[in-house]
Homo-oligomer: A and B are copies of this chain.
């Protein structure tokens, strides 16, 4: 009833783990797969070569259900994926500071991936993420030419996101992941300086949920594209809002930080109960609230 097809990939339920949550420790990822059966794990974003994370503090909770992080895409480089055996769908998140790097990373990442998610929207490292989004059409086109797995592009809640989503789709993207974190800052009033060592960070969680609903709604109503909706999903109701706005699948991130992977099951149970009571399928509701 609530299994979905995301760009040809069968997912037993619509809840995937968003990027940046499960660290790239293969045994740990495997255990998450076995214990919590996520329909997919989106990996942390890999770059071609190892990238040091920013210095701590890199992650703080700023209010109920809201986090601020600036890990800065720190990762051991995509090549570690070669030896990674993880018994569930992997959505491999890739990034880089140039078109060439992203393409090469995607090619290597494809091996273990069910889907490639190109992260063009991290606000937390200059030259990467958000700074590369303006080349989205070219990047997607190049990656599509070299990689056969479905390509999703993760964009931020920017003023031109509908525009960029259109360019991603023109370039051949199979879908979009919306939204990345919102650039914010937390200051310590005693020290008189930022709490995170990087200064600014990305706000995630409850604080950005209404923004995610709006952005997904705008993009879906324009293109009816396949969307992995991410942004502050803590309850099945939050997820349902993203489905109604146009998401086909939903990524869960901050809720896992706050409550653990068990939240996945709460979401499944809640969503199932609602759909059974209403007598509907998930496909009936996708985009329903914004369809023109």
Contacts and interface: CB of A to CB of B under 8 A. Distances in A.
Given A183-B214, A210-B185, A288 B203 contact: no
Interface residues of A, number: 39
A132 to B, nearest CB: 15
Nearest to A186: B210
B207 A245 contact: no
A108 to B, nearest CB: 32
The oligomer's copy count stands at: 2
Given A66-B210, A187-B245, 6 more contacts: A68-B210, A183-B214, A185-B245, A186-B210, A200-B214, A207-B207
Contacts of A217: 185
B240 A207 contact: no
A215 to B, nearest CB: 9
A288 B190 CA distance: 12
Most B CB within 10 A of own CB, among A214, A217, A244, A289: A214
A266 interface: no
A63 interface: yes
A184 B210 contact: yes
A4 to B, nearest CB: 18
Nearest to A278: B190
Given A185-B245, A245-B185, A285 B214 contact: no
A42 B186 CA distance: 26
A59 interface: no
The DSSP consensus for interface residues of chain A is mixed
A190 to B, nearest CB: 8
Interface string A145-177: 000000000000011100000000000000000
Nearest to A239: B189
Contacts of A187: 213, 240-241, 244-245, 289
Given A193-B289, A244-B192, A185 B214 contact: yes
Nearest to A200: B214
Interface of A: 62-66, 68, 158-160, 182-187, 189, 192-194, 200, 203, 206-211, 213-214, 217, 237, 240-241, 244-245, 274, 285, 288-289
A191 B289 CA distance: 9
A189 B159 contact: no
Contacts of A200: 214
Contacts of A209: 63
A142 to B, nearest CB: 25
Given A158-B159, A211-B182, A214-B185, A206 B285 contact: no
13 contacts: A63-B206, A158-B159, A159-B159, A183-B214, A184-B210, A184-B214, A185-B210, A185-B245, A187-B245, A187-B289, A192-B244, A192-B289, A193-B244
A189 B271 CA distance: 11
